[in-house]
Chain A
Amino acid sequence: MDCREIIKLISDYIDRELEQVKREILEEHVKVCERCKTILNTTEKTIFLSKKIYKNKKVPRKIEKVLFYQIRIRYKK
C-alpha cells in the first residue's frame, strides 16, 4: 500500500473500525514512513484539541424558565 492509500485509512484506524489485516499494514507503514506517521499523529491531536475547546455549560436559569413556559402553554387541557 502506498502513502495515498494509507492516508485514506487513517480515520478508520483512529475510530478502531479497521479490520486487522489493514490495521497491521498501517502500523507497519507508519513505523517506516515519517510523513504518514506525522499525519496520523497530528490528526489524532486535532481531534483531541477539538474536544478540549468546548466546555459544557448548564442551561442558564433564564433560558430554562422560558423553555418550560413555552412547553407548558402547549399542554392540552
Chain B
Amino acid sequence: MNELELVEKAKSGDNKAFEELVRRTQNKIYNLGLKILGNKDDAADLLQETYIKAYESLPNFEGKSSFYTWLYKIATNFALMKLRKEKYKKISIDEIKQASNGNYKFEISDWSNNPHIQYKNEELKDILNEAINSLPPKYKTIFILHDIDGLSISEISEILSLSISTIKTRIHRSRLYLREKLSEYFKKKGN
C-alpha cells in the first residue's frame, strides 16, 4: 500500500494504517533527532513527541505536502524547541556571518586531498561534530536537513516556514563557517 492510501486510511481511524506509517518513517525521524540533538535519550523523546503529535493532528493533515515533509515539520519544530533550551555555548550569528563575508580573511590551504581525510579519522569527526553543534539552532538544523539528509531547499522552506533566500543564506554561511573550522584544524595538523 502506498503512503497516500495509508494516510487516508489512518485519517479515517484505521490505527493499523497509522502504525504502518510509523514503522516506515520512524528510522528517519529517529536519525534526525540523533543528528540535531546529539544523543539517544533526546532522540527517543523527539520520536515520541513527533508521533503523538502526528497522531493527534492527523485529521488536520491536508496532504498539501507529503506525509514525510509534514512529519519532518513536526519533528524539526520539537527539535528546535529543545535546542533553544540547551545551555552549551553557541557561536554568535555575527561570527557565522563574518566567516561568509567576502572580505573575510579566509584560511587558505587546499586540504581537500589531504590524506588525513581518507581514513576514519576520529579526531576529525570530533572537530566537525563540535563545529556543527556550535552552529545557532536554525543554522544547524538547516545544514543537517539539506547537506546531510538531502532535503531540497523548497522542502526546508516549507518545514521551517522561511523564505528560500533565507534558507540559502544560512546554508552558505554554515558551510563556510564549517570549512573555516576544518581549515584551521588541517593547518594545525601541518596540512
Contact = CB atoms under 8 A, between A and B. Distances in A.
B172 A68 contact: no
Nearest to A37: B110
A63 B48 CA distance: 9
- Specify the main secondary structure of chain B where it touches its partner: helix
A70 B26 CA distance: 14
Interface of B: 13, 15, 18-19, 22, 26-27, 30-31, 34-35, 40, 44, 47-48, 51-52, 55-56, 100, 102-103, 106, 108-112, 117, 124-125, 128-129, 132, 143, 147-148, 153, 168, 171-172, 175-176, 178-179, 182-183
A37 B109 CA distance: 10
Contact-residue size bin, chain A (C-beta under 8 Å from the other chain) = 35 or more
Contacts of B110: 37-38, 41-42
Interface in A17-49: 17, 35, 37-39, 41-47, 49
A63 B13 CA distance: 25
Contacts of B172: 8, 10-12
A5 B112 CA distance: 22
Contacts of B108: 35, 38-39
A49 to B, nearest CB: 6
